[in-house]
Structure 1
Amino acid sequence: FYHTVDIFSNNVNCDEVIRSELSTYKVTIQEPNVAVDEHQNKGTWTAIFGQGFEVIIGGKKWFAFYKYTEDKDGNYTSHCSETMTGWFHDAAPIVPATPPLHWGCYHGEKAGPKTVRVHAPSSAMDSDEIFKAEDELQKMLEEKATTWTVGPNMLEGMTLRDAKRRIGGGRSRRHVAQQLSATHASEEVDPKLPKSFSWRNVDGALVPVRDQQQCGSCYAFGATEMMSARVRIGLLRQGKKVPKTPSIFDPMVAMLSPQHVVSCSQYSQGCDGGFEYLVAKYGQDFGIVSDHCFAYESGLRVQENTAVPCEYQCPESQRYFVHDYHYVGGYCGNSSVPQLMEELVTGGPISVGILCTPDFMHYQVSTSKHCEDASIEVA
């Protein structure tokens, strides 16, 4: 890692300070999730799907996106041995409900030969052509769909560009890394867990389900509503009465703002997609305000081709900080069904990312059997 000094706050402009004199810090990444630095300190690391990685070692957290460049023809080049300019800071806040301190900037380079990969642009889903299922494709899918139903859905009648945004956005799909197998995860179910369980049966535990509309912000909704529910569940476990619907008069049970994430987070790509793990990281590093302070508008603004600026007015009492976040199983790709069951019951709702084949575009009811669990994230 080539890094600056750690004398900055979380508003550091890395584009400016990365030009200063840099120091080096060597970290060795080992499978499945072990990191060892040049001083023989041990820590952990995780990939964040195909976006980047986070290393926790020596009292610091280091995060950066994988490096890529784009040419005028839309070809993407992955610089597999390098990262973009990223951030590092203290591994945990000194004072609860405040950002971590001692920020700096860095970029990473893998020792040894450099490798690059060129990805040709995929324009099939970037046109104004109207999405409509073809009869032959429908027939083929109906023959395969033993656990789900093929039929018209909300994508019918949209342009292909809008449909892509609706199902997650383009930037959350590029350069997808092969997931680590869950060979290290336990498959034993705790006999103390109930046979069936749903937080929907607990009054006051969940917040209302909302529509992201024409914006690839499912990651922001999934993560902020998971966090909002866990706050409410924590209050219920303390014996406090929690109203069934969020209240603007009680900040402890308010919904967190997905718009804050979409408009303000440098860890995500707005309406072009993102990942729940990085929403949780943003919540620890910067805090997330309530939905009352920063209401959701992006779903309608996308049609006008205008982004919602990062502008809001909130009292600090309505900024919420994440205490901890992690993948179920400890790192990306290592979750198992028993671990998910235990986390759901003991911790609360979990945010799940799904990687699906194109037949998911024709899903109507139940679950496509071609879907694969991509990542399970918890804050």
Structure 2
Amino acid sequence: MDTSFEEAGAAASGPEPTDPPAADATTGAVATDTVAADAIAASAAPTEAPAPAAVPNPSTAPDAVTATSPSVTEAATAATSTGEAAEATETSETAGSAATAAAGAPADAASAAPPVPRPAAAPASLSPSRAGDFMQCPLLYRFRVIDRLPEKPSEAATRGTLVHAVLERLFDAPAGERTAPRARALVPGQWDRLRESRPELAELFADDPDGQRLARWLGEAERLVERWFTLEDPTRLEPAERELFVEAELESGPRLRGIIDRVDVAPTGEVRIVDYKTGKAPRPEYAEGALFQMKFYALVVWRLKGVVPRRLQLVYLGSGEVRTYDPVLADLERVERRLRALWDAICEATESGEWRPRPTKLCGWCDHQAHCPEFGGTPPPYPLPVRARESGGVPQGRMGAD
């Protein structure tokens, strides 16, 4: 068994979460593996791989991971050149990670004016978070991707963005200076930059005149950052990439895109994809949702460079756990078939205008209840052309008027 990545840190066994599965603070992906259409279920493999296991505590660690292989770095250079423009024109796909990047940018760059709302357009690409939206609730996907309805910032999601920015910026320092005190000291400055790049975040603490709630919130972010040092040792890591934008277009399928938190390349050239989660590790019945996101990234890397990542690693700061999965080519082929079927279902809904809600216990956290028929609401008028049925009639069950 390969052990070239095991120096990443010990996995402390944390408490099992008691809260229902919630959207990840950065990507918005939901830890659930429900299926949105019969076509998706038919295309999925009959059995899924087992949930990722916790990493054992490595008392003796091999040499540090170094960025010695150009395989992923070269792909990053090509992808990033188009990624910056793509993010500017499709903010709903990468809002959380774009904010993370802005939080780490110079203050003058972070102070740029907010983007102008764009007119409605048919979906052109698919990210892990938007795929998760459609599988959770097709109507939620429509609200976020086509209608682009605004959503209030949340303390949990914003804290996740802040923690991601701190962990990314920490690697700017020399290896010996990547300490917990230095990381904690980065939190206030990264919060200032995040607020400058996203003025709407001011409303989070508008009712906190004495600053006590803000101080507690920043303290929670500092504790999450500090916990990371019990799981990984940044003095022994030299990431090949951080906040890496990747994009690949499937033949006769969607353009896949996303932002990977960290890419490590071992001296042997093997690739590890790492994702930080500021929440707790999910229960086994919800674990496949987070693993789906990682397999999505692995598929994009494979399609870009023909390399199957050696390891997928999820770092759960909320519960102090590291979970890993070592994919094989068959895993990525199954994910690709599933994404093709998912994209077919999205295209069908886009053309027909039929976006059905799927009620779950996650509805209680949804910002769009006022527009959802399940809560007595009415969706906004559908902004795209609708394909008539062969008989010439209008599809039944369409959400909203023309």
TM-score, normalized by the shorter chain, greater than 0.5:
no
- Provide TM-score, normalisation by structure 2: 0.23
Higher helix share: 2
Higher strand share: 1
Tell which has more relative contact order, 1 or 2 (C-alpha 8 A, sep 6+).
2
- Provide TM-score, normalisation by structure 1: 0.25
